[in-house]
Structure 1
Amino acid sequence: MRINMQSRRRALLFLNAQSRNGHGNMANGVARQLQSGGITLIESLSKRADDMSQEIVRRADEVDLVIVGGGDGTVNAALKGIVETGLPLGVLPLGTANDLARTLGIPINPEAAVAVIVAGCTRRIDVGTVNDQLFANVASMGMSVELARRLTGNLKRRWGRLSYPLSALKTMLAIKPFAAEVVTKDRKIQLKSLQIAVGNGLYYGGGMSVYEVASIDDQCLDFYSVEPRQSWQWPLFLSAFRRGRHRNLRKMQAFCSPSPLYIRTDPPLPINTDREITTTTPARFDLLPLALSVFVPTDRVEG
Structure 2
Amino acid sequence: MITKTAMLLVNKRARNGAGRIDDVIELLRNGGMEVIEPHVNEQDSFADVIRRNADTCDLVIVGGGDGTMNTAAPGLADTKLPFGILPLGTANDLARTLGLPASPLEAAKVILGGVTRELDLGDVNGHLYFNVASIGFSAELARILTSEAKKRWGKLGYGVAASRLLAQSRPFTAFIEHDGIIEQARTLQISVGNGRFYGGGMTVETSAQPDDGRLDVYSLEISHWAELIALLPALRRGTQGRWKNVRAFSTTGLTVRTRRSHAVNADGEIVTRTPATFKIRRRAVTVFVSEGSE
- TM-score, normalised to structure 1, is 0.93
Q: What's 1:203 paired with?
A: 197
Contact 1:49 1:74 in 2 (8 A): no
Matching of residue 85 in structure 1 with residue 84 in structure 2:
no
Contact 1:49 1:77 in 2 (8 A): no
- 1:79 match: secondary structure: helix
Matching of residue 264 in structure 1 with residue 257 in structure 2:
yes
Matching of residue 129 in structure 1 with residue 123 in structure 2:
yes
Cα 1:48–1:210 change in 2 (3 A) is farther
Rounded Cα–Cα distance in structure 2 between residues aligned with 1:255 and 1:276: 24
Stretch of structure 1 that moved more, 50-59 or 182-191: 50-59
Cα 1:167–1:17 change in 2 (3 A) is same
Cα 1:171–1:247 change in 2 (3 A) is same
Kindly report structure 1 stretches of 4+ aligned residues shifted beyond 4 Å: 47-50
Matching of residue 276 in structure 1 with residue 260 in structure 2:
no
Q: Choose the corresponding residue for 1:18, options 3, 13, 22.
A: 13
Q: Choose the corresponding residue for 2:30, options 33, 36, 39.
A: 36
**How much does 1:169 deviate?**
1.4
Matching of residue 149 in structure 1 with residue 143 in structure 2:
yes
- Aligned partner letter, 2:271: T
CA deviations 1:231-253 (Å, max 9, x no partner) are 44333201111110110112111
Matching of residue 162 in structure 1 with residue 190 in structure 2:
no
Q: What's 2:218 paired with?
A: 224
Rounded Cα–Cα distance in structure 2 between residues aligned with 1:49 and 1:156: 22
Cα 1:89–1:34 change in 2 (3 A) is same
CA deviations 1:254-281 (Å, max 9, x no partner) are 1000x32111112111111111111111
- Aligned partner letter, 1:198: V
List alignment gaps of at least 5 residues for structure 1. 1-5
Q: What's 2:234 paired with?
A: 240
Contact 1:50 1:77 in 2 (8 A): no
Matching of residue 117 in structure 1 with residue 111 in structure 2:
yes
Matching of residue 180 in structure 1 with residue 174 in structure 2:
yes
**How much does 1:48 deviate?**
4.5
- 2:195 match: secondary structure: coil
**How much does 1:38 deviate?**
1.8
- 1:84 match: secondary structure: helix
Q: Map 1:26-105; keep pairs closer than 5 Å.
A: 27-48=21-42, 50-105=44-99
**How much does 1:172 deviate?**
1.2
Question: Aligned Cα RMSD in Å?
Answer: 1.4
Rounded Cα–Cα distance in structure 2 between residues aligned with 1:154 and 1:56: 26
Rounded Cα–Cα distance in structure 2 between residues aligned with 1:48 and 1:104: 30
Q: What's 1:3 paired with?
A: none
- 2:8 match: secondary structure: strand
Rounded Cα–Cα distance in structure 1 between residues aligned with 2:270 and 2:41: 19
Stretch of structure 1 that moved more, 153-162 or 212-221: 153-162
CA deviations 1:113-142 (Å, max 9, x no partner) are 110011111001111101110000011111
Q: Choose the corresponding residue for 1:139, options 112, 133, 137.
A: 133
**How much does 1:86 deviate?**
0.5
Give the total of aligned pairs: 294
- Aligned partner letter, 2:268: R
Rounded Cα–Cα distance in structure 2 between residues aligned with 1:168 and 1:103: 22
Q: Choose the corresponding residue for 2:3, options 8, 13, 26.
A: 8
Contact 2:169 2:225 in 1 (8 A): no
Q: Percent identity?
A: 44
Q: What's 1:108 paired with?
A: 102
Stretch of structure 1 that moved more, 174-183 or 128-137: 174-183
Cα 1:151–1:47 change in 2 (3 A) is farther
